[in-house]
């Protein structure tokens, strides 16, 4: 689509919306930046769009100011007819009445990822899954940076794809973390290599059903062809079946069995078998804890191998990788107690992996925003490791009730995050661990899991 001179509505004023608006302005479109929240500061949003968030994609305000409008609150119905395209941010539910009305009027609706893909260049390596996306994306980004000069790591990892799209070149590699929200609104998006790491219940408050959530995840390989590769987790029942639904070449990884072709864990070694078995590394050479992280390494290695990265580059990169912030991140040891920040565990399955990685008696901080998750499997995974479960937020009573039904009685409910951390410190003994692994989103108490994790680290460092 040639969007020069076209009227484009950008729905959502977060970082993805601002990035999409900047890319559209660079491509010559007239932009209406829209948000249903009438209390936002229109002048500030306009300035952010024109000047660029944190200096990215800076545009000349004098040249484009006439092509920018900010609309807040209810969108005027009489202006719908003038829209040539709507670019919707990931945080905007796709079943809102206004979005449904746009569909009825047959206005094209793209996501920010679709926009960036259409106007970007180079090969895309894209990762989705319920858990492990950020670690796998970051590691694959490091592998590719050791292989290619022009590499961009984008998407749900906190750097909108639209921020990088205008800078990409034909020889560029874009490593993209894709959430289910982002994948809902793609049309032509086609990765050269895709990966689905795992599928467990998450975001059911948005998708409503597990089936809808799975369908959104499947979009990552929907447009792939026989020329492309899809990397899948053989040990996840849902993703294993995805191998029957894609036209792409399938490459599995497994933490439980040897594969004739793929990447697998065997006797403490990670093996890549494309034509013949080749050892990537031993698990004790990695700077990461837990089988779930070995799976992340296998997925990243499989994607890199499928793209043609030499094994020595893969090997060197995975051994040097130190993990990502907020994911089972060691913070400090205070008076013999080790503190770990796993704020990125925003659902029960991710939190299970955090518990499994602990090798000490653990005081666990959980609770937060209610995404309609169930917590039974998480509680069952405590396996005698958890000494006390300190709960806060909207889900505190729900989790405590489920814990008590399952026979785990050592729960403490607190009102504030500071109280949760101090309570753990009070009950912890030398040799214990305190783990922030909430199994819930941070919304309602914090802007995001990063802010929650930073607050945890700040409080620990005050001890």
Q: How far apart are CA 70 and CA 83, in angstroms?
A: 14
More reliable by pLDDT, 209 or 29: 29
Are 346 and 442 a contacting pair, CB within 8 Å? yes
* CA pair distance 220, 335, nearest whole angstrom: 47
For Cα atoms 132, 351, 301, give the angle at the middle one, nearest 5 degrees: 20
Tokens of 194: 């895709």
Closest CA to 176 of 190, 162, 189, 157: 157
Confidence of residue 207 (pLDDT cuts 50, 70, 90): low
| Span 339-380, pLDDT tens digits | 999 999 999 988 998 998 898 999 999 999 988 889 999 999
Burial 15-32 (b: 16+ CB within 10 A, else e): bbbbbbbbbbbbbebbbb
46-63 pLDDT per residue, tens: 988 887 534 444 455 566
Widest pairwise Cα distance in the chain: 67
More confident: 213 or 203: 213
pLDDT at 325: 87
Higher per-residue pLDDT: 299 or 131 = 299
Rounded CA-CA distance 46/371 in Å is 32
Helices (runs of H) and strands (runs of E) counted in the chain = 18, 20
pLDDT in tens, 157-176: 889 999 999 999 999 999 99
Mean pLDDT of 123-140: 94
pLDDT confidence of residue 370: 86
Confidence of residue 111 (pLDDT cuts 50, 70, 90): very high
**Per-residue model confidence (pLDDT) at position 431:** 97
Q: What is the CB-side half-sphere exposure of residue 139 using CA atoms within 13 A?
A: 32
Residue 330 pLDDT greater than 90, yes or no: no
CB distance 305 to 399 below 8 Å: no
pLDDT confidence band for 39 (50 / 70 / 90): very high
pLDDT attached to residue 65: 77
Average pLDDT over residues 118-126: 98
pLDDT-derived band at 263 (thresholds 50, 70, 90) equals very high
- pLDDT value of position 55: 43
Backbone angles phi, psi at 35, to 5 degrees: -145, 140
CA distance 258 to 305: 17
8 Å CB contact between 439 and 351: yes
Distance CA 280, CA 399 (A): 41
Residues 6 or more apart whose CB falls under 8 angstroms from that of 246 comprise 221, 224, 230
The pLDDT of residue 20 is 96
**Mean confidence (pLDDT) of the chain:** 93
Residues with Cβ < 8 Å from 271, sequence gap 6 or more? 258, 263, 264, 265, 277, 278, 279, 280
pLDDT of 341 = 96
CB crowding 424-441: b at 16 or more within 10 Å, else e: bbebbeeebbbbbbbbbb
The answer to whether 196 touches 217, Cβ cutoff 8 Å, is yes
How many residues are given for the chain? 463
Residue 309 or 291, more confident: 309
pLDDT per residue as tens digits for the range 18-38: 999 999 999 999 999 999 999
Q: What is the pLDDT of residue 56?
A: 43
């Amino acid at each position: 689509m040639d969007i020069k001179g076209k009227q484009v509505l950008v729905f959502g004023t977060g970082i993805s919306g601002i990035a999409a608006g900047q890319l559209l302005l660079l491509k010559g479109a007239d932009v209406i930046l829209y948000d249903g929240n009438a209390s936002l500061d229109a002048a500030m949003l306009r300035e952010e769009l024109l000047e660029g968030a944190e200096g990215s994609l800076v545009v000349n305000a004098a040249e484009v100011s006439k092509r920018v409008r900010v609309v807040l609150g209810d969108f005027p119905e009489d202006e719908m007819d003038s829209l040539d395209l709507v670019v919707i941010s990931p945080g905007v539910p796709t079943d809102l009445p206004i979005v449904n009305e746009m569909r009825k009027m047959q206005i094209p609706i793209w996501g920010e990822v679709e926009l960036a893909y259409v106007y970007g260049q180079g090969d895309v390596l894209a990762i989705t899954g319920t858990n492990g996306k950020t670690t796998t994306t970051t590691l694959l980004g490091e592998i590719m940076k050791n292989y290619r000069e022009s590499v961009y790591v984008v998407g749900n990892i906190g750097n909108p794809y639209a921020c990088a799209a205008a800078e990409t070149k034909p020889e560029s590699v874009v490593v993209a973390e894709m959430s289910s929200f982002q994948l809902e609104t793609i049309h032509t998006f086609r990765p050269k290599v895709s990966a689905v790491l795992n599928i467990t219940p998450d975001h059911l408050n948005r998708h409503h059903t597990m089936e809808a959530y799975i369908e959104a995840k499947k979009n990552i390989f929907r447009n792939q062809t026989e020329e492309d590769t899809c990397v899948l987790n053989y040990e996840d029942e849902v993703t294993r079946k995805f191998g029957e639904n894609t036209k792409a070449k399938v490459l599995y990884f497994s933490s439980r069995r040897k594969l004739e072709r793929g990447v697998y864990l065997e006797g403490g070694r990670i093996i890549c078998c494309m034509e013949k078995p080749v050892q990537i590394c031993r698990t004790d050479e990695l700077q990461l804890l837990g089988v779930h992280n070995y799976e992340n390494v296998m997925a990243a290695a499989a994607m890199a191998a499928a793209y043609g990265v030499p094994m020595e580059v893969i090997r060197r990169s995975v051994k040097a990788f130190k993990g990502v912030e907020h994911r089972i991140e060691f913070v400090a040891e205070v008076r013999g107690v080790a503190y770990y920040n796993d704020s990125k565990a925003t659902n029960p399955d991710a939190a299970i992996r955090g518990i499994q990685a602990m090798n000490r008696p653990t005081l666990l901080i959980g609770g937060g925003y209610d995404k309609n998750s169930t917590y039974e499997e998480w509680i069952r995974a405590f396996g005698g490791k958890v000494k006390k479960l300190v709960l806060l937020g909207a889900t505190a009573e729900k989790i405590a009730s489920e814990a008590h039904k399952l026979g785990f009685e050592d729960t403490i409910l607190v009102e504030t995050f500071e109280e949760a951390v101090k309570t753990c410190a009070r009950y912890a003994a030398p040799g214990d661990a305190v783990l922030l692994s909430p199994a819930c989103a941070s919304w309602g108490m914090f802007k995001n899991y990063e802010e929650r994790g930073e607050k945890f680290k700040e409080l620990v460092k005050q001890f």
